[in-house]
Amino acid sequence: MADFSEDQIADFKEAFQLFDLRGDNKIGYIQCGDVLRALGQNPTNAEVMKVLGNPKQDEMNTKFLSFEQFLPILQTVNKNRDQSTVEEITDGFRVFDKEGNGKITSSEVRHVLTSLGEKMREDEVEALLAGLEDANGCIDYEDFVHMVLTG
């Protein structure tokens, strides 16, 4: 699994085993959403059902997953979460894009980062925005979101 480090996979396996109530290194389909949420994901019940292949209700209580079967499910849910996060944040910045050109003023970005949600300090914002402004004092917010989320 290229998306997770060996240490992460070991941590995931340890958490997975906490849900193994029968001692056979498997969890019930019914537990899959709980394990995903314990690992920091937040899938809806519909998303869990989809990644499990839309099993019938009685299969939820009778089918089981090994860790090897669970890991690709975790990876899929993680990728879906990452994608929706990018879209949600980009949509949030799009509200400030008055001209519809994919750019907002750096002053608007500063305002959002220092006054809404989990507020950042001015020096943190300056470090984050360093070198991102164009000649007009604007920032391409899609590039900004990708830069922030991917490091």
pLDDT in tens, 89-134: 888 889 989 899 999 999 988 988 899 878 889 999 999 898 899 9
CA 128 to CA 112: how far, in whole Å?
Answer: 13
pLDDT given for residue 1 in this prediction: 45
Range of lowest pLDDT (16-20, 70-74, 80-84, 135-139): 80-84
Please give the Cα distance from 60 to 49 (Å, whole number): 9
CA distance 94 to 70: 36
Q: For residue 84, what pLDDT band results from cuts at 50, 70 and 90?
A: low
Q: How many residues does the chain have?
A: 151
| Alpha carbons 98 and 47: distance in angstroms, whole number | 35
Q: Is 66 helix (H, G, I), strand (E, B) or coil?
A: strand
* 149: confidence class by pLDDT, cuts 50, 70, 90: confident
**Which residues, 6 or more positions from 124, have their beta carbon under 8 angstroms from its beta carbon?**
113
What tokens does 145 get? 């979101």
**pLDDT tens per residue across span 10-34:** 999 999 999 999 999 999 999 999 9
Alpha-carbon distance of 46 to 107, in angstroms, equals: 40
Cβ proximity of 41 and 78 under 8 Å: yes
Among residues of the chain, what percentage have pLDDT more than 70?
A: 95
Q: What is the mean pLDDT of residues 55-65?
A: 94
The structure's pTM equals: 0.58
Contact 93, 144 (CB under 8 A): yes
Confidence at residue 8, expressed as pLDDT on a 0 to 100 scale? 93
Model confidence at 82, pLDDT cuts 50, 70, 90, reads: low
